[in-house]
Amino acid sequence: MPFPSRTKNPLAMALVRRLARLIAAENADIVHVRSRALAWVAYGATRLTKTPFVTTFPSVCEGSNPITRRYNSVLARGAAVLAGSNFAARLAANLHPPAEGNTRVVHHGLDCQVFTPDAVAPAHVQAARRHSKVAPHERIVLLAAKTRPGSGHKILIEAAGLLSRSGLAGVKFILSCDKDENSALDRGIDRAIATEGLQGIMYRSGHCDMPAALLAASIVVVPATEARAFGDAAVQAQAMGTPVIAANLAAAPETVLTPPMVEESLRTGFLVEPGDAAALALAIATFLDLGATASGKISSRAKKHVETCFSAAQMCAATLEAYVDVRRGGAR
């Protein structure tokens, strides 16, 4: 049914009664919301209709001041709070302490029928390599993230400069992101590439077939310096069997398994300190020096990890289980 759910106008709080009428007319069992503005509308409507209120709490929803934190706290007020990670669950409890007893972790689900090596034709992988200007013998270190504050592009550029000066050869660094000539961030990235002398080994690939690009890569790096810039690339890459090197922040330790969180035999990638270009360079060099057997084991574990914890099927099952528990009167 048409409903202006995208609005962020405070005057939209008049929608509360409109939504309440819709809930009553449809005899809704549960109202589940994922966005803050509409959550306040739904929160009021479900109190009027005495309908169970379920929320999804993302991994980046804390707030930097009391007003923002209050506004964000609505996503922690559900009878069941479905947190995108353990990190998000802790944020929800900090914003709204009663949430701690109503929260369960339901990871964002990935379509593992799309993000799987079996779904990508070899010709598409070769096309992705040509699109990135990579020769057949060269390996790819890929950063797949929008250019935004905290995305860590300049951290990878600095790391690539260190590796280049150390004599690393046969590797291309690909930034899979669209370029905006009017963006100060994009211009800064271009200047940083030129300053490091990386014009011959670092390229922007622009929009591409992401599953094919991930499969073509030897490593995917996620050097974010802010939690909100972490994105989906770490999960998508592991689903393709491509190991990940990520900044150790937000939900990264749950997404990329490394010691000491797990035993070495369960490793699916590497974590480095956010903003530490030297540590990122060392991790890249360490992985590139691994033999085929060791890297193949990491790839297999990464793929299994996503299939077990981050698949759309797993997300749907966990969400439906939460609905059943709410209908029975408890979030647990």
Q: Which residue shows structure tokens 């000539």?
A: 181
Give 116-121's long-range contacts (Cβ < 8 A, gap of 24+). 116/211, 116/239, 116/240, 116/303, 117/215, 117/240, 117/241, 117/303, 119/211, 120/211, 120/212, 120/215, 120/240
Q: Where are the domains of the chain?
A: 10-109+312-327, 117-309
> Cis (ω within 30 of 0) for the bond into 66?
no
Residue 22's contacts (CB-CB under 8 Å, 6 or more residues apart) are 1, 3, 28
DSSP state, residue 29: S
Tokens of 160: 């690539």
DSSP SS3 for 245: strand
Residue 91: name the closest of 65, 68, 54, 60 by CA: 60
Q: 122 — phi, psi (to 5°)?
A: -55, -35
Spatial contact of 2 and 15, defined as CB atoms under 8 Å apart:
no
DSSP state, residue 251: T
- The amino acid occupying position 276 is D
CATH second-level architecture of 117-309? 3-Layer(aba) Sandwich (3.40)
DSSP state, residue 263: -
Cβ-in-10-Å burial (0-12, 13-18, 19+) of 59 comes to buried
DSSP state, residue 110: B
Tokens of 271: 């974590």
DSSP state, residue 270: E
DSSP state, residue 107: P
Spatial contact of 249 and 230, defined as CB atoms under 8 Å apart:
yes
Q: Please, what is the angle between helix 153-165 and helix 277-288, to 10°?
A: 60
Q: 139 — phi, psi (to 5°)?
A: -95, 155
Distance of CA 301 to the CA centre of its chain: 19
pLDDT tens-digit readout, 100-154 = 999 999 999 999 999 999 999 999 999 999 988 899 999 999 998 888 888 999 9
**CA–CA distance, 104 with 191 (Å, rounded to integer):** 45
pLDDT tens across the length of the chain (332 residues)? 677 766 666 555 568 888 999 999 999 999 999 988 889 999 999 999 999 999 999 877 766 788 888 989 999 999 999 999 999 999 999 989 999 999 999 999 999 999 999 999 999 999 999 988 899 999 999 998 888 888 999 999 999 999 999 999 999 999 987 667 668 888 899 999 999 999 999 998 877 899 999 999 999 999 999 988 888 999 999 999 999 999 999 899 999 999 999 999 999 999 999 999 999 999 999 999 999 999 999 999 999 999 999 999 999 999 999 999 999 885 44
Tokens of 114: 């799309």
Q: Supply the pTM of this predicted model.
A: 0.89
Q: What is the pLDDT of residue 233?
A: 93
Cβ-in-10-Å burial (0-12, 13-18, 19+) of 129 comes to buried
Q: 117-309: same fold as 10-109+312-327?
A: yes
| Fold adopted by 10-109+312-327 | Rossmann fold (3.40.50)
Spatial contact of 221 and 246, defined as CB atoms under 8 Å apart:
yes
